[in-house]
């Protein structure tokens, strides 16, 4: 059972655009929601994370929006650049368990 659903599967935007990646979860025990960026042939790197007690978090050009009642969260990338082209994974973790449940991933391509 896929506990974290992610969409879209792929996304193409022009430089300067604002790609938005959406995720939804089912398990209400999740209390930590990180986003990871993965380049081909590399391990995932933590990009930004949020806890459900806040509705938005910004770090540089990356923003997470969180809707606890809808059990949804999304990643916005402001002023996207070709260097942002990568696969993005949303994830979720509950406090009592250290294992991370990943979404299915979104391949982002930012064209010049």
Go through 63-84 and write b for each residue having 16 or more CB atoms within 10 A of its CB, e for each that does not: bbbbeeeebebbbbbeebeeeb
Rule CB under 8 A: say whether 102 interacts with another protein: yes
Rule CB under 8 A: say whether 93 interacts with another protein: yes
Residue 92 and residue 100 in contact, taking contact as beta carbons nearer than 8 Å: yes
Residue 92 and residue 32 in contact, taking contact as beta carbons nearer than 8 Å: yes
Rule CB under 8 A: say whether 48 interacts with another protein: no
The 10 Å Cβ neighbour count of residue 18 is 12
Cβ closest to another protein, residue 9 vs residue 112: 9
Specify the stretch interacting with another protein by CB under 8 A; choose among 21-29, 61-69, 74-82, 97-105.
97-105
Q: Which of 49, 52, 62, 109 binds another protein (CB under 8 A)?
A: 49
Closest CA to 13 of 84, 64, 66, 72: 84
Q: Which of 18, 29, 45, 78 binds another protein (CB under 8 A)?
A: 45
**Binding residues for another protein, per CB under 8 A?**
32, 34, 36, 41-46, 49, 89, 93, 95, 98-105, 107
């Amino acid at each position: 059972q896929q506990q974290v659903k992610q969409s879209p599967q792929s996304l193409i935007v022009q430089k300067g655009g604002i790609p938005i990646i959406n995720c939804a979860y089912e398990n209400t025990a999740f209390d930590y929601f990180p986003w990871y960026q993965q380049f081909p042939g590399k391990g995932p790197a933590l990009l930004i994370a949020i806890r459900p007690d806040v509705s938005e978090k910004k770090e540089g050009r990356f923003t997470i929006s969180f809707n606890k009642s809808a059990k949804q969260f999304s990643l916005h990338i402001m002023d996207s650049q070709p260097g942002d082209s990568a696969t993005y994974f949303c994830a979720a973790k509950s406090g009592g368990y250290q294992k991370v449940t990943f979404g299915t991933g979104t391949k982002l391509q930012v064209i010049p």
